[in-house]
Amino acid sequence: MDKDSLASIGQRIQKARIARGMNQTELADELGVKPQAIQHWERGTAQPKTSRIPAIAKALSVQTAWLLNDESDLSSKPDNSSISHDEEFILNQYRKMDSTRKKIFEDIASVLTNQDSDSAK
């Protein structure tokens, strides 16, 4: 991969990470790498292992093809344009949670949703 390709992959990783409201350390923790690896990828001084690309895409909620593609594919970028500011805030907070907190949040949301649908009857 040439230097321009390294930089563009790094730029897309950074763009998606910021869109998710994550910092480099949070992404590194989710991927099981050191924060310095994320820094190098985003600066274009190193590239992630090919085998790691699907995990990066999953962690950033983007398609693998978008990370690897030199051309912007708007359909595979994070798209929060159809949700309200409040929904986006909740989504970003959820994405920052560890798996235990996500489960608690999901349980609470389930109870509240069932309660709302029960009260509408």
Are 17 and 57 part of one and the same domain?
A: yes
The confidence score (pLDDT) of residue 2 equals 45
63 and 93 part of one domain: no
Radius of gyration of the chain (CA): 17
Looking at the structure, do residues 51 and 93 belong to the same domain, yes or no? no
Q: In terms of domains, do 27 and 62 share one? A: yes
pLDDT per position as a tens digit, 31-73: 999 999 999 999 989 999 989 999 998 899 888 888 887 555 4
CA separation, residue 34 to residues 18, 62, 91, 97 (Å)? 18, 21, 25, 19
Residues 68 and 90 in one domain: no
**Residues 66-109: pLDDT tens digits?**
888 755 543 444 545 566 777 777 887 888 888 899 889 989 98
Structural contact between residues 83 and 91, judged by C-beta atoms closer than 8 angstroms: yes
The answer on 59 and 104 residing in a single domain is no
Check whether residue 98 and residue 54 sit in a common domain.
no
Residues 16 and 70 in one domain: yes
Are residues 17 and 60 in contact, defined by beta-carbon separation less than 8 angstroms? yes
Q: Which domain holds residue 99?
A: 85-119
Residues 9 and 63 placed together within one structural domain of the fold: yes
Give pTM, 2 decimals. 0.57
Half-sphere exposure of 101 (CA within 13 A, CB side): 6
Q: Which tops the pLDDT comparison, 69 or 16? A: 16
Q: Where are the alpha helices (DSSP H) in the chain?
A: 3-19, 24-31, 35-43, 53-60, 64-68, 85-96, 99-119
Residue 89 and residue 71 in one domain: no
End-to-end CA distance of the chain: 60
Please state the domain count of the chain: 2
Q: In terms of domains, do 69 and 91 share one?
A: no
